Amino acid sequence: MSAHLPLMVWLSPSFPVGAFAYSHGLEWAFEAGDLHDAATLRDWLEALVVHGSLRNDLILFACAFRAAVDRDEAALAETAELALALATSSERRLETVTQGNAFVAAVRAAWPCAAIEHLRASWPGDIAYPVAVACASAGHGVPLLLALEAYGLAFVANLVSASVRLGIIGQTDGQRITAGLVPALHEAAAAAEVATLDDIGGCALRSDLASLRHETQYSRLFRS
């Protein structure tokens, strides 16, 4: 089996994790006027890739992947716990654990591997989404850099899809934004590949505030 084929399945919209239900705070940012066209959306998403939640998720992914390969239970449990602690709002936590738990359940049923079972043995609690995908990737022999790039692209593509449904942009602009962010995704993945938990940090404050404000947004389409 080619290394990339499982990733194409796991990170596609058809995989049953419910990614379509989350906007990562974009819905509030749109209502507040922060996002109103392709340029503002591109800047917002690039900040998440370079400075924000995706940067941290990629580092968590890499650390979980290496711990799974090494069968290091302590490192895997530490990464799984930190991934939950880093959720900056109740909705961010809901977003990551709902998808993570669903991903683990689907992989155990259809794509079983020792690394996923080792993850459940090391950390029996809720599983953050990047940790879940990382362990499955390690268990199926997917190269780390390839998995990081695919995960990052899927994250961006899902938020672009949410933005199209919100009416911030149209489909063509959505594809332009996704394509335009590929170089930044390559750089973020390469940096995360050699990063450690000590490298985690971010400064996308407005995105974190959007996630907090979305919790009490009166009318909404998305769960986050």
Tokens 């989404």, residue located: 129
Residue 126 maps to a domain = yes
Confidence of residue 219 (pLDDT cuts 50, 70, 90): confident
* Stretch 113-131: mean pLDDT: 96
Residue 174 lies in a domain: yes
Q: What is the CATH number of the domain that holds 149?
A: 1.10.4190.10
Distance CA 208, CA 44 (A): 12
Into how many domains does the chain fold? 1
- In-domain check, residue 198: yes
48-72: pLDDT as tens digits: 999 999 999 999 999 999 999 999 9
Residue 45 is predicted with a pLDDT of 98
Above pLDDT 70, what percent of the chain? 99
Whether the CB-CB separation of 51 and 39 falls below 8 Å is answered with no
Which of 71, 40, 61 is closest to 192 using CA atoms? Answer: 61
Give dist(CA 178, CA 152) in Å, integer: 11
Q: What is the pLDDT of residue 167?
A: 96
Query: Per-residue pLDDT tens for 163-211?
Result: 999 999 999 999 999 999 999 999 999 999 999 999 999 888 899 999 9
Residue 184 covered by a domain: yes
Residues 195, 123, 106, 64, Cα dihedral to 10°: 10
Domain assignment present for residue 206? The answer is yes
Give yes or no for a contact between 210 and 34, defined as CB atoms under 8 angstroms apart.
yes
Mean pLDDT, to the nearest integer, of 93-113?
97
Rounded Cα gap, residues 121 and 142, in angstroms: 22
Residue 27 forms part of a structural domain: no
221, part of any domain: no
Asked whether residue 25 is assigned to any structural domain, the reply reads no
- Predicted TM-score of the model (pTM): 0.97
pLDDT for position 203: 86
- 137: domain range? 36-215
